[in-house]
Amino acid sequence: MRQISIYGKGGVGKSTVASNTSVALAEMGRRVMQMGCSPKADSTYLLLGHMCHPTVLDQVRAKGYRKPEYIDECLQIGHKGIVCAEAGGPEPALGCAGRGVLLVLELLRKYRLPEKHEVDFLVFDVIADVVCGGFAQPIRRGYAKETYIVTSGELMALYAANNICNAVKTMNELKGAQVFVGGLINNMRGVPGELELVREFGEIIGVPVVANIPHSDLMQRAETQKKTLVENFPDSAEAQEFRSFAQQILEPRGIIPQPLDPKDSISVIRDLLRKYQVFD
């Protein structure tokens, strides 16, 4: 079973990318499980057409976790047979969502739920960038050794991508975690020179761009139908880009990035944006 994680800045489109990629993998005959690792619990919405309830942490609070069937009850089957689950989060103003994610990962491993469902690919959709050790657990604990980073030609999206690469590099150097970056996913926003901008950023940090998802209203049109773009517009250029990306990740990728120094990253990225006339 291959385990990959999708990281990126909040709002950059991780869940959309994860869900469309899961569908593309399923179209290729792979059995896929998508695990949302966010208190919002909305990662699998487009795969199911509704919110995934109960979340694992809701179930733990209601029934405990001593029996595997309690956790198995949280799994639902979405489009193309994709197994869907959401970690969920603590009650508002109580507890730590990052620690909750760790508990959920441990329960998946303890009860071997992906193996029970004969999963070929387990896709972790992880909230925001790695500013919280709890949300870094999918890579820190070796649950997902391949990380793909969703970014765009925007300042904070690139800044977050650099932070994630710093985390991956640190985990390899200090923790011996043996986790790697598979590539950058350019979820385009339509800013000037975005293809070249993100490609050059990738060259600077030693990570290739493995997908360029066009900025398109088809994405929003599909989401209003509670579906992924790959399902709703299967013949579109955007859907083909997701299929191309899914084809690439059939083979493992292992890159240790060389990120910008955190002290310099903002200024370097701003210079890059100026080069492509994103702002004066």
CA angle 39, 167, 129 (to 5 degrees): 30
| 169-196 confidence digits (pLDDT tens) | 888 887 666 789 999 999 999 988 999 9
Q: Does the structure show a pLDDT above 80 at 142?
A: no
For the chain, percent of residues with pLDDT exceeding 70: 90
280 counts as catalytic: no
Q: Does the structure show a pLDDT above 60 at 164?
A: yes
116 counts as catalytic: no
Q: Which among 14, 80, 145, 169 is annotated as catalytic?
A: 14
9 counts as catalytic: yes
Beta bridge partner(s), residue 86 = 36
Q: Does the structure show a pLDDT above 80 at 227?
A: yes
129 counts as catalytic: yes
The domains found in the chain, sorted by start residue, are 2-275 (3.40.50.300)
Q: What pTM was estimated for this model as a whole? A: 0.93
Contact by Cβ (8 Å): 32, 254: no
Q: Per-residue confidence at 210, pLDDT binned at 50, 70, 90?
A: very high
Q: Which among 63, 67, 72, 129 is annotated as catalytic?
A: 129
Q: Which among 40, 58, 63, 226 is annotated as catalytic?
A: 40
Q: Does the structure show a pLDDT above 60 at 130?
A: no
Task: Name every residue whose Cβ is closer than 8 Å to that of residue 172 and which is 6 or more positions away in sequence.
Answer: 178, 179, 180, 256
Pick the range with the lowest mean pLDDT from 30-34, 38-42, 235-239, 255-259. 38-42
3-state SS class at 157: helix
Give the containing element (helix H, strand E) for 149.
strand 146-151
Q: How far apart are CA 36 and CA 149, in angstroms?
A: 15
| Among 15, 1, 42, 75, residue whose Cα is nearest residue 229 | 15
Compute CA distances 74 → 121, 132, 161, 181, whole Å: 18, 25, 31, 29
Q: What is the pLDDT of residue 55?
A: 94
